[in-house]
Structure 1
Amino acid sequence: MQVGIWRVSRDDTSPLRFLLLEVLKKLMLAIRFFTTKRVVNEAAALTYSTLLAIVPILAVVFAIARGFGYNKYIEMWFRDAFQSQPQAADIIIGFVNSYLVHTKSGVFLGIGLVFMLYTVLMLINNVEMTFNEIWQVKKQRSIFRTFTDYLAMLLLFPILIVVTSGLSIFMATVVDHLPDVTLLDPVKRFLIDLLPYGLMSAMFIGLYVFMPNTHVKVRNVIVPGILAGVAMQWLQLFYINSQIWVSSYNAIYGSFAALPLFMLWVQISWIICLFGAELCYTNQNLEYYDYNTNTADISHRYRILLCAMIMSCICKRFDKGGKPYNAFELREETNIPIRIVNDLLYKLIEAHLVIGISSDEKGEQTRYMPAMNIEKLSLGVMIDSLEAQGKWKIDLAIGKHYGKLWGKAMEMRRKYLHESRAILLKDL
C-alpha cells in the first residue's frame, strides 16, 4: 500500500477518493520526515532557547502594553494563556516585573541588555534554522535581512499581542452588551469559545509563512495552521482538566513542580508547531515526491549518474546562453525527485562545480550555473571533485601495505579519470 498509493493518478479513481489519498500521502510524508529528521530533538533544543528568552520577550511585551495603557489586560491575557500553568505564570510575571524595575533603574542597561538581545535573537535564529531544515533550505538570511527581519519581529510581535488581546476584550465586551435573546445565546457562546482558536491559528499561519527563508504559499499553510492552533488549545484543555495528575506531581516535587511541568508544556507546544511545519512542507511539495526516494539510500554509482544528469542540463543551458535552471526546473527536466535534486545541488556547490545565484529577496528561486569554464568541465573533473570531498587523511601506517598491485590499481584509476576527462558534460 505504501508504494501503491503513490502511483494512483487522478484518472484512476473518483475525485473524493483521490482527495483522501492526497491527504493520506501528505500525512505519511509529514510523519516520515518528522521521525527520520528527529524533529523531537529540535523541539527539545527550542525548549531550552525558549526558557532563556521568555522573560526578555515578555518584558518587551509588558513594556509596550504599559505604554498603551493595557498592562492589566496583557497580564490577564498572559494568565489566561497559561491557565494550565498557573504557578509558572506567577513565577514568570514576577521575573518580568523585576526585570522592568531593574531596567528602569539602569542596572540592566549594559551586560543585561546584551544578554537580553542575545537570548531573543538566539531563539529566533534557532527557530529559523529548524524551519529551514524542514523546508530543505540551505541558504540562511543575509546579515542585513537577518537584522531587519528580526528587528521587525521583535517590534511587531509585542504590538500584535497587545492588539489581539485588546480585540479579544473588545469583542467580549460587545457580546456581553448584546440584547439577551434566547436564540443568540448559543451564538455568543460559540463566538467567545471560537476566538482563542482563531487567534492561535492565525499566529501559526503567520509563523509558517514568515519564518522559512523560502517562498511559502499561504494556501498551503492555512489547514496546517488551523490544525496546529486547535491542537494547542486542546493541549491547554488537557492540562487544565488533568488537575488530579498535576496535584499528585506537586505532592512529589513540591514548589519545584512548576518548572518541569512548564518545560514539558513548552516542548509539546514546539512539537505541535514543528509537525505543523512538516505538514506545510508536504502540502506544498507533494507533487514533487516519490515516497521511496531518499538521498541516503542511493548508491554512490547512481549518485554520480544523477549528478552527471544535473550537470549536463546546467552546462547545456549555459552553453546555449539560456536562463540558468532552478531546482524545480531541473526536476522537470530530469524527473529526479525535488528532495534529491536539492541535496545533489548542495553537494555540487560544496565540490565547487556549481554556483547558486539569487537575490536577497525572500522566496527568490536560486538558479544554478557552472562554477568553471564548461570547455574544461568534464565527466572526469566532476567525478574527481565529488570523490575528493571531505578530509583525505587518517593517522594510520598504510604505507607498508602498498605493493605492486596497489600501484597498478592506482594507475588504472588515473587512466579511468583521464579518459573520463575527454567527455564534456555539455556534450552528454
Structure 2
Amino acid sequence: MPERVGKFLDFCLFLMRRFLADQGPHSAAALTYTTLFAVVPMMTVTFAMLAAIPAFQGVGEQIQAYIFRNFIPSTGATIQEYLTAFISQARQLTWIGVGFLIVTAFMMLLTIEKAFNLIWRVRQPRRGMSSFLLYWAILSLGPLLLGAGFAVSTYITSLSLISGPHALLGVGMVLKVMPLLLSIAAFTLIYAAVPNTRVPLRHALAGGSFAAVLLEAARQAFGLYVSYFPSYQLIYGAFATVPLFLLWIYLSWLIVLFGAELVCGLSSSQHWRSRRLPRLIVVLIVLRILYENQRAGREIRLRHVHQAGWSLPEDEWDEILEFLEREKLVCRTSNGWVLCRDLGEYSLDQLLRNNPWPLTRLDLLPDHLEEPWYPTFRRSLELLGQEQASLFGGSLADWLKAGSAG
C-alpha cells in the first residue's frame, strides 16, 4: 500500500509539472478570452442548425436552459438573459454577419485544438480539408446529435414508467445523474477526437470522468463561495455577474486542460516513469537503437523502441527526435526514422554540449542498465566528477582572493 501511494503521489506531481510546463494557466486564460467572443456565435450556429429541422423547434432554448441549470453556477441566470438577447439580435444578421460568426466559432475550435496539441506534443496539427471537415462536423452534426438526444430523453422521461406514479425503482436516481453522464460522454469525445494523435478510448474515458466530476464539484463550490462571500457584489454591484462568469469559464478551462494532461499522462508508460531515467540517457538509448537498425538497413518508429524493451512515452520520443533532427543526426522517411549522419564523425562531447538537458549527476543514475555502453559511460562520468572536484575543489573565498590578486 505505501508503494502504491508513493506511485500515485509521484504521478500527481508528474501531472502538475507537465501542466505548468505546458503553460496550462496561460492556455486557460487564452481560451477564456476566446470563449467570451465565441459563445454567442457557437450558440447562434447551434440554434440555426436546430431551427432548420421542424421536429427540433424550441429544442435549442430547452438545451440552453438545461445547460445553464446543470453546468453553470447559480450566478449564470443573468448571463443567460444577456446571451438570449444577444442571440436574438444575431439571428437578424445578414449572411455576411453569419459568416463572421461561423469564422469566430472556427477560431475557438482552432484555439482548443492548439492547446490540446501542445499537451500531447503534436508537432503537425491538422491542416487543410481534414481540419475544415472536423470543425464543420462539430458545428453542424454536433447540434443535430445534441438535439436528437435531448428530444429522445425528453420523450423517455415523459413516459409513465419513468415519471408517473408507477415509475420504476431507481429511475429517479438515473435522471439525477444524467447531467453528469452527459458531461462524461462529452469530455470523453473531446479528449479522444480533438488531439491530432491516437488517444486510447479508456484513457479518454478516465480523463472525461475526472473532468466531469471535478467540474461538478467546482460548480457546487463556486456557488457556495458566491453565496457566502459576496465581495464581488459589494464591489461591482449589478455588474458582478460578468467577472464571476469569466472566473467560472477560466476555472472550467483549467479543469478541462488538466483532464487532458491526465489523459496524456495515462498514455505514458508507468514502467518507464518508474525508472526515472535522465533524458540524456534516453537519448543515448534511442541513438543505439537507431545505429543498430541502420546497420541492418531498417528504419525505426516508436514501436521498435518498445520492442527493444524501452516503453518510451510518445511525448518524450517526439522531444528527443526534435533535438536529434536539429543536430542533423536523424531524418524522417516514409516508414520511420533513420540516421542521416555518420556517428563516427560526431563525438559524445558534442552531444553533451549541444543537448538541452543538463549533464546527469551520478546519484541519479541507476547502478545497472541493460545497455552495452552504459558501464563505460558511468565510469567516464565518475572520472569527470573526480577531475572537476580536483580542479574546482578550492573554497570560493580562495578563488576570489586569487582573482583579486591577479
Aligned to 1:224: 207
Q: Are the aligned partners of 1:220 and 1:283 in contact in 2 as well (CA < 8 Å)?
A: yes
The TM-score, its normalising length taken from structure 1, stands at 0.71
Give the alignment of 1:66-105 within 5 angstroms.
66-69=51-54, 70-83=56-69, 84=73, 85-102=76-93
Aligned to 1:348: 324
Which of 23, 29, 32 is the equivalent residue of 1:38?
Answer: 23
Q: Are the aligned partners of 1:205 and 1:221 in contact in 2 as well (CA < 8 Å)?
A: yes
- Of 238-247 and 223-232, more deviation after overlay is shown by 238-247
Shift of residue 133, structure 1, vs aligned partner: 1.9
Give the alignment of 1:131-280 within 5 angstroms.
131-174=116-159, 178-181=163-166, 184=168, 187-242=170-225, 244-245=227-228, 248-280=231-263
Shift of residue 251, structure 1, vs aligned partner: 3.9
Q: Are the aligned partners of 2:116 and 2:194 in contact in 1 as well (CA < 8 Å)?
A: yes
The TM-score, its normalising length taken from structure 2, stands at 0.74
Which of 296, 300, 304 is the equivalent residue of 1:329?
Answer: 304
Instruction: Give the counterpart letter for 1:32 in structure 2.
Output: R
- In structure 2, relative to structure 1, the CA distance for the partners of 1:18 and 1:49 (3 Å cut) is same
Tell me the C-alpha RMSD between the 2 structures: 3.3
- Of 286-295 and 233-242, more deviation after overlay is shown by 286-295
Q: Are the aligned partners of 1:29 and 1:291 in contact in 2 as well (CA < 8 Å)?
A: no
CA distance, structure 2, for counterparts of residue 382 and residue 113 of structure 1? 59
Query: Unaligned 5+ residue runs, structure 2?
Result: 357-406
Aligned to 1:369: 338
Per the alignment, in what secondary structure is the counterpart of residue 80 of structure 1?
A: helix
CA distance, structure 2, for counterparts of residue 341 and residue 59 of structure 1? 42
- In structure 2, relative to structure 1, the CA distance for the partners of 1:307 and 1:29 (3 Å cut) is closer
Query: Unaligned 5+ residue runs, structure 1?
Result: 1-15, 359-365, 391-428
CA distance, structure 2, for counterparts of residue 38 and residue 294 of structure 1? 24
Aligned to 2:385: none
- In structure 2, relative to structure 1, the CA distance for the partners of 1:177 and 1:367 (3 Å cut) is same
Q: Are the aligned partners of 1:208 and 1:221 in contact in 2 as well (CA < 8 Å)?
A: yes
CA distance, structure 2, for counterparts of residue 389 and residue 33 of structure 1? 20
CA deviation map 1:118-141 (0-9, x unaligned) = 322222222112212222222222
CA distance, structure 2, for counterparts of residue 150 and residue 350 of structure 1? 33
Q: Are the aligned partners of 2:119 and 2:264 in contact in 1 as well (CA < 8 Å)?
A: yes
CA distance, structure 2, for counterparts of residue 307 and residue 335 of structure 1? 12
Aligned to 1:317: 293
Aligned to 2:49: 64
Shift of residue 23, structure 1, vs aligned partner: 4.8
Which of 10, 23, 39 is the equivalent residue of 1:54?
Answer: 39
Q: Are the aligned partners of 1:164 and 1:199 in contact in 2 as well (CA < 8 Å)?
A: no
Q: Are the aligned partners of 1:327 and 1:342 in contact in 2 as well (CA < 8 Å)?
A: no
Report % sequence identity.
23
Aligned to 1:122: 107
Per the alignment, in what secondary structure is the counterpart of residue 61 of structure 2?
A: helix
Shift of residue 377, structure 1, vs aligned partner: 5.2
Instruction: Give the counterpart letter for 1:87 in structure 2.
Output: T
CA distance, structure 1, for counterparts of residue 224 and residue 63 of structure 2? 20
Count of residues in correspondence between the two structures: 349
CA distance, structure 1, for counterparts of residue 178 and residue 31 of structure 2? 27
